[in-house]
Amino acid sequence: MQFTLVVYGAPHSAQSAATALRFARALLTSGHSILRVFFYGDGIHNGNALSCPPQDEQDLLGQWQALQQSHQLDLTICIAAAQRRGVLSDSEAVRLEKPAANLADGFTLAGLGQLAEATALSDRLVSFGG
């Protein structure tokens, strides 16, 4: 079965991001596939390369990146939500004349059309947070 996951919660303020990560691992271990993980609203903070969790907390960014690397996952961040919250790719930082980019490796920016497409192509859409 093919899934699309939507993550609404920031890694530092809600359990939804950690729950989504555990769910994604369980899906892949069970032989299912994930078409896309779409980060929306405050969930876009999961792709902030500048996040620095304390040593006694989970590094969700690193864990998402490791999962992306091992399974070639499509980790997509809503571009509009990201711009509002200051998470920018290199090209967006240049386009918006900002001094730096902070989109983490393994994540891409895209519009809500990517979420609609993934919803249409997936067997199941599962949301976390919200």
| 65, 105 Cβ separation under 8 angstroms | yes
Q: Establish whether 78 is a catalytic residue.
A: yes
| 102, 88 Cβ separation under 8 angstroms | yes
| Strand partners for 3 | 34, 124
Question: What is the C-alpha radius of gyration for the chain, rounded to an integer number of angstroms?
Answer: 14
Distance CA 77, CA 107 (A): 7
DSSP structural state of residue 57: S
- Which residue is catalytic, options 60, 78, 109, 115? 78
Known catalytic residues are 78
